[in-house]
Structure 1
Amino acid sequence: MKELVNNLKGDRVIWSFVALLALFSFMPVFSASSNLAYIGQGTGNTISYLLKHLAHIFIGLIIIYWVHKVPFHYYRGISLFALPVVWILLGYTLIKGTVIAGANASRWIQVPFIRISFQTSTLATIVLLIFVARYLSKKREEEISFQSSLRDLWLPVFVTLALILPANFSTTALIFSMILMLTFVGKYPIKYLSFIIGAGVAALLLFILLSKAFPDSHLFSRVSTWQSRIENFTSNKPGEDDYQIEKAKIAIASGGVYGLGPGKSVQKHFLPQSSSDFIYAIIVEEWGLIGGFGILALYLLLFFRFVIAAHKANSMFGKLLVVGLGFPMIFQAMINMAVAVELLPVTGQTLPLISSGGSSIWMSCIALGIIINVTKKEEEIAEENKEKAKRDAALKKLIDKQLAEEEEEDYDQRHDVGIDNETGNYSIEDQSKNPMNAVLNK
């Protein structure tokens, strides 16, 4: 265990916060999964959901470990090849996507043979933000023209967002806002950003107008849900989401300052998404305001470490990676908590590293692994390069030894049959060993 800890490179404070959030997540997930257990099994036994979450967290920590070993500049090229793959996956999700965990949107695809549901928009978020960071760092010393940026930057961005929008407006809005923030940090001309924002709003209005023209189309099935959520949030008109909000508010009010105690939540039996979208309400109900503010403080401290990591990064690409991958994680957490207390309309955003769900946890872990890689100190990188040089030297020595053995074996064979090592011909004194003599004698 000590050796494993010593192999962890990068910002140890980020490692600590990730470990704290992951460890804490077991208690609310174990408690809040009872609703799913009653619906799926009829028993209310949440042990299987706890073990499933344990597997997700364990795999996620392995992902962080292996990703933080890969030099972050490798992801420049990976994003170029990964983006077309993401488009294919998003298109397949729109056509063949499945609905899980009571959600009413097709955002997942089933991975063959291993029976795992995967939310493609989470992967698209990471790949797209890395792609944008790559473009901005590449163009840092050049004057960016609007026409070239439309082709090289914004066309891939809008294609990706257009494939996410029909099934997940909140994720689309979050990605678009994070890209705008990233381009601002990357010193993309502000005069161009105003046009991009206008184009984005116009594209959204066009999508809504098309949904009115083709109301029966599967592509526009979520527009009515967006509209009803906004209307319910801005008015006193009762709606479908009022049930979830009311139960979440009851859970928060019941928690008080100290909470009802771990596992003693009552509203977990009534909230449809108690282990994912509304897990923060269950946390406050069981752990009180102390637990609720404690989780909020952890995310804010993690955000502070991201700011420090971005400031200390040695390259512009590293700075943009930390901003592009770290800040959305914190904003997603803020959105999840704001929805639980009715500061925002209901969305499908989970609480990173705490809510149940495999793909959301794993994609957060990929982002954290890349960020931790950026935070490596120069001496840690030098140590890794030294270890790599030792491995390469040992491998070269092994190969040279193998080649020497093969040459020696070849020399022995040539000597046995009387072959001259310089000319390759049979020597006169060893002509009796020439295999051709046996043929001629016959």
Structure 2
Amino acid sequence: MSTRRKAGLWSGLDRPILVIVIFLMTIGIVLAFAASPAAVERSSWIDDPFYYLYRQLAFMGAGLVILAFSSALSLTGVRRFAGLTLVCAYVALILVLVIGVEVNGSTRWIRLGQFSLQPSEFLKPAFVVIAAWLFSEEDRGAPVYGRLVAFGLYGLGAFLLMQQTDFGQTTLLTLLFGALLWSGGLSLAWTAGLAVVASVGGFLVYSSVPYIRSRIADYLGLTQTDGPTQTGRAIEAMSHGGIWGVGPGEGQVKHLLPEAHTDYVFSVAAEEYGLIASLAIIGLYALLFARAWMLCLRLNDPFAQLATSGLALLFALQALVNIGVNLDIAPSTGMTLPFISYGGSSMLALCFSAGLLLALTRRRPGAYAPRTRQGDLPA
């Protein structure tokens, strides 16, 4: 391959998005270094205190390879690869119901040697891209009911996720789909109607699934516990950290919370590095969303525009939910903090999502040129 061709594969990538993603991954490595020894203390089969750090480094390396590959795709390649990923995710979600392993009371993983695959992590970005493509094809006048097909794909995904009692990912998928429908031109009346349907569906799930009722009751403080809850400890840790933190490695919450390196890694950061670091992490997610949204508004291709907005919202919502759980303003969901929490499936899927985002926003000829249709504004 010629030097010019190699340069072409990497040229045009949005550097601010790439830098923010790598910055977040680096923060994740720093926090894995802090939380790994405490997580190993609670394990009876791990001897190396930096076991989780080494694994996170390996996941980061593999994720960067996936990011590099997916960011080099053309718009057609993005659609095709996302479609293949979506099919594989559905197949894997079905396999979870048959051969899945149970972790913390939920069956969401397929064991592959030393690696546990969580298919729902890959479902989200693939669904966003394919739903955006279906919407844009219908709007172009293609002989396909794109929104109806997307509803079917959403229904199948939500059904399979609920079979795993994964209410958090189901809610996130629902919010993403609703946002895509609204961004794709759904009227306010239809939006309100679907919101009512979703609310009724959520109430029925709450009424019929004991696991969901238990999580909501814990969040509302309606259940009696012998000691502080996980979220309570996370709040204490953030209070203990103050403005500047207690110092690297000096935090105590990681020794008390079994999920300090995953669900509650934000509280580890807040305790050891303080309010300033916490606000910096939130700011990075805000910048990532704002940058992607700004590029989305300037894109010409309707598919690229809608898919970019959906992927940007995926990062923002997932970060918002995780941080909300740590701050006790949202019930526990088991959702990771993007690029920072420990986890192989999460890291690989998020790098795949970031690669797709970079591919969609790549500066290629005509991507950001002024629109020519009557009534459109220049980019």
Match of 2:253 in 1: 267
Given that 2:135 and 2:146 are in contact with CA atoms closer than 8 Å, whether structure 1 keeps it comes out as no
Compared CA separation, residues 159 and 282, structure 1 to 2 (3 A)? same
Q: Unaligned regions of 5+ residues in structure 1, if any?
A: 212-222, 382-442
1:87 is displaced (CA, Å) by 2.1
Of residues 260, 270, 282, the one that matches 1:284 is 270
Amino acid paired to 1:352: P
Residue 245 (structure 2) pairs with residue 245 (structure 1) = no
Given that 2:319 and 2:338 are in contact with CA atoms closer than 8 Å, whether structure 1 keeps it comes out as yes
- Structure 1 segment 348-363 matched on structure 2, within 5 A: 348-363=334-349
Compared CA separation, residues 345 and 142, structure 1 to 2 (3 A)? same
| Mapped partners of 1:328, 1:289: distance in 2 | 25
| Mapped partners of 1:91, 1:277: distance in 2 | 25
Match of 1:433 in 2: none
Residue 67 (structure 2) pairs with residue 64 (structure 1) = yes
1:150 is displaced (CA, Å) by 6.6
Match of 2:136 in 1: 137
Compared CA separation, residues 66 and 80, structure 1 to 2 (3 A)? closer
Match of 2:53 in 1: 50
SS at match of 1:123: helix
Of residues 308, 316, 330, the one that matches 1:344 is 330
Compared CA separation, residues 150 and 7, structure 1 to 2 (3 A)? closer
Match of 1:409 in 2: none
Amino acid paired to 1:366: F
| Mapped partners of 2:231, 2:224: distance in 1 | 11
Compared CA separation, residues 226 and 349, structure 1 to 2 (3 A)? same
Pick 1 or 2: higher relative contact order, CA cutoff 8 A, min separation 6. 2
Compared CA separation, residues 158 and 200, structure 1 to 2 (3 A)? farther
Of residues 155, 167, 171, the one that matches 1:169 is 167
Q: Which 10-residue stretch deviates more, 33-42 or 195-204?
A: 195-204
| Mapped partners of 1:44, 1:5: distance in 2 | 44
Given that 1:34 and 1:44 are in contact with CA atoms closer than 8 Å, whether structure 2 keeps it comes out as no
Given that 1:133 and 1:320 are in contact with CA atoms closer than 8 Å, whether structure 2 keeps it comes out as yes
| Mapped partners of 2:354, 2:149: distance in 1 | 27
Q: Which stretches of structure 1, 4 residues or more, deviate above 6 A after TM superposition?
A: 3-7
Given that 2:206 and 2:213 are in contact with CA atoms closer than 8 Å, whether structure 1 keeps it comes out as no
| Mapped partners of 2:81, 2:178: distance in 1 | 22
Compared CA separation, residues 380 and 110, structure 1 to 2 (3 A)? farther
Q: Unaligned regions of 5+ residues in structure 2, if any?
A: 368-379
1:305 is displaced (CA, Å) by 0.6
Compared CA separation, residues 237 and 197, structure 1 to 2 (3 A)? same
Match of 1:104 in 2: 105
1:242 is displaced (CA, Å) by 5.1
What is the TM-score when the length of structure 1 is the normalising length? 0.75
Q: Which 10-residue stretch deviates more, 166-175 or 189-198?
A: 189-198
Q: How many residues align?
A: 361
CA deviation digits over 1:303-340, x for unaligned, max 9? 11111121122201111111111211111111111111
What is the TM-score when the length of structure 2 is the normalising length? 0.87
| Mapped partners of 2:226, 2:336: distance in 1 | 19
1:5 is displaced (CA, Å) by 9.6
| Mapped partners of 2:148, 2:313: distance in 1 | 26
Match of 1:120 in 2: 119
Given that 1:144 and 1:188 are in contact with CA atoms closer than 8 Å, whether structure 2 keeps it comes out as no
CA deviation digits over 1:414-433, x for unaligned, max 9? xxxxxxxxxxxxxxxxxxxx
1:197 is displaced (CA, Å) by 3.6
CA deviation digits over 1:342-367, x for unaligned, max 9? 11111111100000001101111011
Percent identity reads: 25
Compared CA separation, residues 362 and 81, structure 1 to 2 (3 A)? closer
| Mapped partners of 2:152, 2:249: distance in 1 | 48
Given that 1:35 and 1:44 are in contact with CA atoms closer than 8 Å, whether structure 2 keeps it comes out as no
Compared CA separation, residues 83 and 303, structure 1 to 2 (3 A)? closer
| Mapped partners of 1:44, 1:256: distance in 2 | 33
CA deviation digits over 1:101-122, x for unaligned, max 9? xx321111112xx431111101
Match of 2:361 in 1: 375
Amino acid paired to 2:153: P
SS at match of 1:99: strand
Residue 142 (structure 2) pairs with residue 160 (structure 1) = no
Q: CA RMSD in A?
A: 2.7
Match of 1:307 in 2: 293
SS at match of 1:94: helix
Max Rg structure: 1
Given that 1:228 and 1:239 are in contact with CA atoms closer than 8 Å, whether structure 2 keeps it comes out as no
Q: Which 10-residue stretch deviates more, 350-359 or 128-137?
A: 128-137
Given that 1:306 and 1:322 are in contact with CA atoms closer than 8 Å, whether structure 2 keeps it comes out as yes
Amino acid paired to 1:326: A
Given that 2:56 and 2:343 are in contact with CA atoms closer than 8 Å, whether structure 1 keeps it comes out as yes
